[in-house]
Copies of this chain bind each other. A is one copy, B any other.
Amino acid sequence: MIIVLKPKAEEKKIQALLEGFTQMGLSHNVSAGAHTTIVGIIGDTSKVDVDSVLANDIVEDVKRVSEPYKAANRKFHPDDTVVEIPTPSGGVERVGGEHFTVVAGPCSVENEEQIVEVAQAVKRSGARLLRGGAFKPRTSPYAFQGLHERGIELLLLAKKETGLPIVTELMSLHHLDLFRDVDVIQVGARNMQNFEMLKELGHCDKPILLKRGLANTIEEWLMSAEYIMAGGNHRVILCERGIRTFETMTRNTLDISAIPMLKHQSHLPVMVDPSHAAGIPWMVEPLSKAAVAAGADGVMIEVHNNPGKALCDGAQSLTPGQFGQVMGKLSRQLEFEGRVLG
């Protein structure tokens, strides 16, 4: 951490500032120029609060040199994390490393026929995990909010029928008990900085699929992963789902650069959700291919057996037939890239 002091800072105040760092077990290094004095703080500064330093009236500016995240940082954990997800049949799905994982399913679980039919269809096409919402974050209180407990039951039924582990979103810690048999807990974009939820999930023994917030930086996202990991749960999967920008032709803007950046900065697996990123079904294919090319560890795709009748986000869902075509393209591309589908 580098601290730039204001010109003519009083020596007494400088000493008090440095003393504070010494008490935190950090050493320092003062370089006094004619106009500007620069202080380098040496040691693990991840617990130093930049704001507090800035609030000191002799401080002009503060700059971190090292990343504020540690558990999620590739520097301290060079190998890719591979998150293991047990399957009902006693096997295991692996996300990360050489594996490329496809999660598919409807936006929301609607009824038994729908979820079982979609689950069977996406399994046939190569999906390895089933997604489906039981609790739905909707902008409007008047929109369909999901089937709640019944939705989880139907997902578990579809899991039993197909053998696919299930991924579903947690919207409140109050519902955590219902997630006992859920395989992967999804934290949605709107809860990426629901820190109390993240802390609690840090004590949970399930993989967490952590979606990027609508307008959160990559660093903030890794800090949210750090919240979970700091609690002891290292099974975190990141999922880029598009960020909010001025562009209106697509629902969000898929930040494709986030993939190589995350793979560079962190060892955690990174998935992409092309359905939410664009909000347009015919864009799922090119964006999924781009995700593979950029190095993603998987994609999460919305599939519905009757998009026109979907209770939620039908407009962006693929039919099972369209999904099968996308999977055909992806599997050939993955083979070309020397990667393993599933």
| A33–B55 CA distance with the chains assembled, in angstroms | 25
- Is A14 in the interface zone, CB < 8 Å from B? no
Residues of B within 8 A of A193 (CB): 137, 139, 190
Quick one: CB contact mask for A165-194 with B, threshold 8 Å, 1 for yes? 000000111110000000000000011011
A172: contacting residue among B197, B315, B317, CB under 8 A? B197
- Is A9 in the interface zone, CB < 8 Å from B? no
Residues of B within 8 A of A191 (CB): 194
| A243–B215 CA distance with the chains assembled, in angstroms | 10
A293: contacting residue among B171, B220, B333, CB under 8 A? B333
A57: contacting residue among B194, B278, B308, CB under 8 A? B308
| B261 x A249 contact (CB < 8 A) | yes
Residues of B within 8 A of A135 (CB): 196
For the residues of A in contact with B, the DSSP-based class is mixed
A253: contacting residue among B52, B143, B257, CB under 8 A? B257
| A249 x B217 contact (CB < 8 A) | yes
| B196 x A171 contact (CB < 8 A) | yes
| B249 x A246 contact (CB < 8 A) | no
| A2–B226 CA distance with the chains assembled, in angstroms | 29
| A289 x B283 contact (CB < 8 A) | no
Report A20 CB to chain B, min CB distance, Å: 9
- Is A310 in the interface zone, CB < 8 Å from B? yes
- Is A250 in the interface zone, CB < 8 Å from B? yes
Quick one: CB contact mask for A28-64 with B, threshold 8 Å, 1 for yes? 0111011110101010001101011011110011010
Report A342 CB to chain B, min CB distance, Å: 20
Residue of A56, A220, A253 most packed against chain B (CB within 10 A): A253
- Is A259 in the interface zone, CB < 8 Å from B? yes
| B257 x A278 contact (CB < 8 A) | yes
Give the interface residue-count category, chain A: 35 or more
Residues of B within 8 A of A164 (CB): none
Report A54 CB to chain B, min CB distance, Å: 4
- Is A204 in the interface zone, CB < 8 Å from B? no
Residue of A40, A197, A278 most packed against chain B (CB within 10 A): A40
Residues of B within 8 A of A197 (CB): 172
- Is A25 in the interface zone, CB < 8 Å from B? no
| A219–B140 CA distance with the chains assembled, in angstroms | 10
| A65 x B293 contact (CB < 8 A) | no
| B312 x A52 contact (CB < 8 A) | yes
- Is A277 in the interface zone, CB < 8 Å from B? yes
Closest to A35 in B: B42
| A245 x B248 contact (CB < 8 A) | no
**A198-227 CB contacts (< 8 Å) to partner B:** 198-199, 214-220, 223, 226-227
| A135–B217 CA distance with the chains assembled, in angstroms | 23
| B244 x A261 contact (CB < 8 A) | no
If A51-B312, A250-B257 are given as contacts, then 5 extra A-B residue pairs at C-beta distance below 8 Å, sorted by A number, are A2-B2, A52-B310, A172-B194, A217-B246, A219-B249
23 A–B contacts from the bound complex (CB under 8 Å): A2-B63, A31-B38, A36-B42, A36-B65, A38-B40, A47-B143, A52-B310, A52-B314, A55-B315, A55-B316, A61-B63, A172-B194, A172-B197, A190-B195, A214-B215, A215-B244, A217-B247, A218-B249, A250-B261, A254-B255, A254-B256, A260-B287, A261-B283
